[in-house]
Structure 1
């Protein structure tokens, strides 16, 4: 199976995903593949929250929307055209250890391994283990070539050539110890930040709300920290993000909000809050659910130097300032195929094996 055929298979998957959106779930055709898979995917989307309380139907559908946009033939060709696949004649088995914090969070690694012609040996998180096997079956039906390329396991990983593992800072140390003798990409905790200048429009701040609240802030691309100028007025921010106030009606989120608020009050911390999110001045990057940390800055260039020094903690930076690699407001959860986690080029890693 050549690269063009693999691109074609994932393009078909992207078209299939377009049937599942936050606007509506609608079957677009009665083709054989839709007859086989549409209802199965629909049922799994409806039931996702039973297996993981954070996987609301809306958030699962947002993940499907994002991937349907990414898996266009134009994007797949643009992404893969930057590499030379001719040397990759001997497929390797790549062990993928996946996180489960947001729906389909491990899909890009899965895609990268298969698009390069390698085999995927997958250990899923117990928090997100129902969609990828369905996707694998879809691909196998699209092209039988994939039938011996995808393996799922719940046991100890064996017989592999390289590892891609995603986890916490603690599990990363374990991964490094256990997989140290293999070529590997090992990812740790990262968070995303936003730089505000006070010149943002209400529309931009509302889009920032998407970056903060989508997936309940559980993703590494979710904004958990704000950098604001001295004497920044948070009133405009609170006004712009008020449209997300219904998030407090979700019980798991509300429980975290109430618990963290109680901790802050008992600890005599000064917080700003509006009934559904709290802002706390803190130098850390990883904020608890329902909390966004903030830190004041005096000079923009000094802040850039600080972020560059601490880049191992940061997944992406959101701002309307024209700086290379900055992400526009509202776009953190819509990465391009070539926006690699931790800025590690997965395709280059795989092609060099």
Structure 2
């Protein structure tokens, strides 16, 4: 099999793995060859990606758990989101949770063997009171539970980033979501550059940058490769790869262009382009990967356990068993 003059076979995928391990960046043509490969090439692609994953992370799996600290009431127009101002999805709406509830969520995350607890809130950016709640909760969580804490509160101001870092927030998430070229097709109430600036603001404050994407929003395969390049250039330490869960009542409710095999190729692509980074299978895992979920952990080394923001995930027990069945190991204390 050949694509654009490239001979594709088992040895070819292994060559890509060798290059990734050597720190070389795949070309656009090579990245596209992963996404465009025949499905019969899927297992060799996953094996090549697993070589890279195993080199940096062994067989360990990082678990993350989300708490939706504020649901709905968001003025942004993100077409994929059930909490946005343009959404008609029948979701539960509530204002920012108080400190004690955030702490209880961390206890639950610990019980589910999650090493990272993610405090996520809808909105353009946090209010002073919302930052106060997070700061006070994080101080207790860090002192009593020995967990890594990630915050995802929208667009940050410099002083807010500094306060979060000083309170003990280890990581800040702000996804790029899609390529710069495709961004206006998804959101118009803020820009792609706004998101890049927020990630850089978090880095400047000393928090580990977490930024990822949502695949399946009408972007081209070339744009998927480009977002992988962008996240590599951004030097995001953790890259959540979401697969669109088209929620009824959102502008993208009728979008249905993913299948499990393509999703696995996307994860392999991200491992080969961002070899040293935490690649996390995130939102839409269950509905898009379906029975092929276990194979996702050959290129990826992290998942969310429990529910997402407004959609349900499978139980932690099932996730734990999936990891055990693979012969992998849960990394209960995140590093």
- Normalised to the residue count of structure 1, the TM-score between the two structures is 0.29
- Normalised to the residue count of structure 2, the TM-score between the two structures is 0.31
Which structure is richer in relative contact order (CA contacts within 8 A, separation 6 or more)? 2
Higher Cα Rg, which structure: 1
